Amino acid sequence: MPIMAARHYNQGKLVRELGPDDIIPEDCDTGDFFWLGLFEPTPEELAGIAKRFGLHPLAVEDALKAKQLPKVEVYGDQLFVIAATGNREGDTIQSGETAIFLGRHFIVSVRHGSARAHTEVRARLETLPAKLAHGPDYVLYAILDFIVDGYFPVIDGIEDQLLALEESVMDTPLDAEEIRHLYGQRHEIIRFQRLVGLMKEVAWRLVHAEDLPWIDDAVRPYFRDIWDHVQRAEFRLSGLREITASVVETNSLLEQQRQGVITRQLAAWAAILAVPTAIAGIYGMNFQFMPELGWQLGYPYALGLIFGGSALVFWRFKHIGWL
């Protein structure tokens, strides 16, 4: 059975933990609510829970499908929310989703592809009965806050890697494999930023929409905190995109500068070699009447011109920084 946890609360206090064979009563007292957490259920497994709580078929269909985009939907007197989760595995960001059904006396969460269970959230809330007494809408806030807080370790890991790469590129140029990897990281950031942007819309609607059932005014300020966290995550992802662009641009500029240095050095040595080539070319011509041919010091004189001229050109290029 995919039920990771099923618990009954009253006035914020745990009444009992439900087993697979326990029957959830049809009628609930004031202050009662049930919290069920499911992980990748089959259609048959979710059908029984949907029948018990009267979940809308379209919402159930969305909850069963993976790769759903974040959204908020109202089905009669029930609220349906899909939130995007993020987890970094190696150099890729593995996205998942958590579908949440919210009713007057219940909250049901269905996780797909999320490596982080809600055990931590549940344990923390059970130590805060005054908060849990708000009801299922506060549990919805706690789950969404837990999901959004999970974005920041992903962002921190990518940021540390990109900053280290930005520093190393000043000393060592990127090779083709590193550039391909960098562009792959950029695509991961863009894809994740798109999901985070949709999560910001979800949080905004939970704060401001007046037609959402079972969201009390006392709980709405908590959703504003989620919106603020999502906005910061989106801002940092924009910064990561700028860092990737900066690394590529810096690497390109440094590579052009290195190529310019090499080009100047080659040009300088070509100019130096041109001096003996020119002198040897002149004295290698087979003219009968050349003044230096009958001169005893002609050979030392030619060598002096070659070495002296080459040394002068070398000094000049060294002086202007080309060598």
Average pLDDT, the chain: 88
As a whole number of angstroms, the distance between CA 212 and CA 91 comes to: 38
State the pairing for strand pair 106-112/92-102. antiparallel
Provide mean pLDDT across the span 237-266: 84
pTM over 0.95: no
Query: pLDDT (tens digit, 9 = 90+) per residue, 75-93?
Result: 999 999 999 999 998 888 9
Contacts of 243 (CB under 8 A, 6+ apart): 159, 162, 163, 166
pLDDT of residue 23: 63
Between vectors from CA 179 to CA 175 and to CA 184, what angle results, nearest 5°?
Answer: 150
- Per mean pLDDT, which range of 138-142, 237-241, 255-259 is the poorest? 255-259
C-alpha dist (Å) from residue 42 to 114, 126, 222, 272, 277:
16, 29, 33, 79, 84
**Within 10 A of 86 (CB to CB), how many other CB atoms are there?**
24
pLDDT score of 21? 65
Edge-to-edge strand ranges of the sheet holding 3-10: 13-17, 3-10, 32-39, 106-112, 92-102, 78-89, 71-75
DSSP state letter for 14: E
- Contacting residues for 222 by C-beta, under 8 A, at least 6 apart: 138, 141, 145
Collapsing DSSP to helix, strand or coil, 167 comes out as helix
Query: How wide is the angle at C-alpha 289 spanned by C-alphas 285 and 294, nearest 5°?
Result: 95
What six digits make up the tokens of 314? 């070398």
Tell me the mean pLDDT in the region 248-260. Answer: 80
Whether 1 shows a pLDDT value over 60: the answer reads no
The 10 Å CB-count burial string (b at 16+, else e) for 262-276 is eeeeeebeeebeebb
pLDDT in the model for residue 152: 96
Alpha-carbon distance of 153 to 157, in angstroms, equals 6
DSSP 104: S
